[in-house]
Amino acid sequence: MSEDAKSRVEQLLRAVAPILKQQDRTVAVPAHVLAKLKATQEKKFPAWKELTAKEMEPLLLQVLAQGQMDGFDLISRLEKAHVRIKGGGEAVNYGVLSKLVTAGLVQVDLEDRSGQMRKLYRLSDTGRMQVETAHAPEFQSLVSAVLAAG
C-alpha cells in the first residue's frame, strides 16, 4: 500500500469511528472490535521497508544467526518489523529460504509436530562464517527490529 493510500485510510478511519460509536445499533459491536478500531485509529502507520529477494537473503541469515526457527515464525517476525519482499506476497520468503538452503548457507531440520512435518531452519557452518565475515551495518537496525518483533 502506498503512503498516500495509507494516509487516506487513516483519515477515513478517523472520520468513521465517531459515527460508529454514536450510532444506535441493535446489535452491539463486540468490545474487542471496538478496541481494535480504537487502536487502529490511534495507530500511526509505519512505512514498510521493502527489500528485493536478493536483499532479503543477508537479512534472513542475520536473523537465523540468533537461533533455529520455522519459516512461519521467521516471516511473522518480518511482518511485525514491517519488512517485506518487494512486489510479492510473504510466501516468496520461502523461495528465498529455499535458495539459501540450496546454497548450503542454511540447514533444515525436520520435526514431527502432531503428525505434520515442520521445517526448522538454522544456519550452517558456512552460513555462520558468511554472517560473521559480512559487514553490513545498514542491516543492523533492521535485524534488531525483526528480532525485537519476535
17 touches other proteins by CB under 8 A: no
- Which of 30, 137 has the CB closer to other proteins? 30
Rounded to a whole number of angstroms, the minimum distance from the CB of residue 55 to other proteins is 14
Rule CB under 8 A: which of 89-128 touch other proteins? 89-92, 94-96, 98, 102, 110, 116-119
- Which of 50, 128 has the CB closer to other proteins? 50
126, amino acid identity: T
Report yes or no: 106 and 97 within 8 Å, Cβ to Cβ: yes
Rounded to a whole number of angstroms, the minimum distance from the CB of residue 135 to other proteins is 27
Rounded to a whole number of angstroms, the minimum distance from the CB of residue 53 to other proteins is 7
**Positions in the binding site for other proteins (CB under 8 A):** 30, 32-33, 36, 53, 70-72, 75-76, 88-92, 94-96, 98, 102, 110, 116-119
